[in-house]
Amino acid sequence: MNGHPLTLKLVAGLLHEEFGDEATIGQLAELGLADVGMLMSQLRGVHRQEVVQLLAVLDASFNRLSEKWRRLLLSLVVLRQAFDGTWASAMMGETVAPKELRRLAKRGFLLAEAQGYRFLPLIEEYLKFRAGDLREAHLRAIEFYESRVTSRAEWETLEDVQDYLEVFYHRCELGEYEAAFDVLRDGDDVNEFLCLRGHNQLLAELYQQLVEHLPCREDYRYTASLISLGNGYRSLGRYRDAIAVYKKSLEIARDIRDQQGEADSLIGLGSAYKSLGRYRDAIAILEQQLDIARDIGKPQGEADSLNNLGNAYNGLGRYRDAITFHKKSLEIFQEIRHRQGEADSLNHLGYAYNCLGRYRDAITFHQESLEIFQEIRHRQGEANSLINLGNAYNALKRYPEAIAILEQSLDIARDIGNRQGEATSLIGLGNAYNSLGRYPEAIAFYEQSLKITGDISDKRGEANTLLMLGNLYQKLGRVQEGFAASQQATAIYQDLNLPLDAYPIPKWQKKLVKFAERGKFHLILCFLGGLIALPLAVVWLISLILYRLIRQRFTPR
């Protein structure tokens, strides 16, 4: 049978069903299957005309089934999940005994699994070809899944909304993409639940399908799908893809004069630019969004914009300005009782205070934020709060606590596919192990983070990681590697055109540079100090190199 095991199983199942354990190939002729019998006599293991041979066997096997079993297979073929007798009975509209499914599996038409039965791809393709119009089967499937859906209060995991996702799938199969969009947004809001749980890859896939097939660009569903697709890409670290999608949604929203769509596109666009380290571009865009939100009287949009502006100023190292924006956004979110926004503002406030060295204040804000995110079951927000909380404990030299917290954030980030959060958790762990003097482990974490930041084009994160790696390499005497990493980091910082306060370098170095910038006299003093320090630095470097060489020479192998 041209090496196709399924064909062998179908023929064997057909013979066994009719003649039992002692069946032989020759008995195919007794079933009146002249064509198949002739086919079998001609084959004798020769590989030729696979498609024709396979169709002949499939047709013969299917036509020998009872009328009920043929109807059963044709009604079940639209299902993509494993099914059992209950599902089969619902799809058929009459009782289907479990033994009937078992017998179909023995005949090769179904594949038995722990969860139930499925179709092999080849059988599925054949049955869909035989069925022709599958509309009625899809409608029965929709009716069946809609009868099983549960309320939002009962949702805990992705499995709890799987019936909604199946309805979405069957609506798409019928070409009813507006109805498919409504499945995600209406009622208990499956879209929001998936966002809270961090199922970003799934969201991107769902909205990609809608964007490709929704028929009317002027329908709000199309713009909303673009924005949701952009949000999915951004959460997955695909910032450039997100920017392209946001720009498209912004263009359409402006064409149809949809101010809400314009505002949503702008806030997504600004957030994506911020993630790429383009803070000034982000601020310019977010200020436009803030004006629109105030113009149309949307306090949540205003608070979102203020919060994101604070993030952009955090990126520029202007932490006091950032705190002002975050406090304003927090007030609005608390007034309108928007718990997620409140938690976001608290978390970002904590980050700004951490950057100012007010670590205990930062911990208080991060813990408040974490409690809210856990209360509303927002997995990505929970991971972000844990990352910042771990970094604050790092700053207080409470390293075991920091490591435990950052390991939690890393687990969540990996579980929900948040690569940005994964990279940030890894660099935090690297910092903790570095401070503990466990350098090989620190390097391993930094290198993992570096790979991810490179993959997702997070230039700021890449530069920060390279700088940490460079310092650690030099500490270990790997001077050439350390110099190369530091040079790469410097080139990225210069390319991003960041102010001095945004660089992750020691405060004494920042103070020294600012001192030199105050005037010619201060610059001359720094120059004279450098002349005195340079010989000492050269002597230290030579001593370090000699020490390494001597240790390598006399260390027993």
pLDDT per position as a tens digit, 329-376: 999 999 999 999 999 999 999 999 999 999 999 999 999 999 999 998
Average of pLDDT values for 57-78? Answer: 87
- Residue 315's pLDDT band, with cuts at 50, 70 and 90, is confident
Mean pLDDT, all residues of the chain: 84
pLDDT of 45 reads 36
Nearest partner of 312 among 302, 321, 301, 303, judged by Cα: 321
56-65, 256-265, 424-433, 494-503, range with the lowest pLDDT: 494-503
Between vectors from CA 115 to CA 105 and to CA 206, what angle results, nearest 5°? 110
DSSP type of residue 278: -
Average of pLDDT values for 481-498? Answer: 79
- Rounded CA separation 363/405 (Å): 12
pLDDT of 419 reads 84
DSSP type of residue 83: B
- Rounded CA separation 425/406 (Å): 6
pLDDT of 541 reads 60
pLDDT of 514 higher than 80: no
Q: Higher model confidence: residue 279 or residue 237?
A: 279
- Residue 448's pLDDT band, with cuts at 50, 70 and 90, is very high
Q: Are 392 and 366 in contact (CB under 8 A)?
A: yes
What are the distances in angstroms from CA 512 to CA 62, 224, 357, 527, 533? 84, 50, 18, 11, 14
pLDDT of 24 reads 78
- Residue 48's pLDDT band, with cuts at 50, 70 and 90, is very low
Residues 6 or more apart in contact with residue 369 via CB below 8 angstroms: 343, 344, 346, 347, 350, 381, 385, 388
pLDDT of 42 reads 43
- Residue 53's pLDDT band, with cuts at 50, 70 and 90, is low
Q: Are 500 and 514 in contact (CB under 8 A)?
A: yes
- Rounded CA separation 364/143 (Å): 50
Q: Which residue bears the tokens 């050439």?
A: 480
pLDDT of 230 higher than 90: yes
Average of pLDDT values for 220-230? Answer: 95
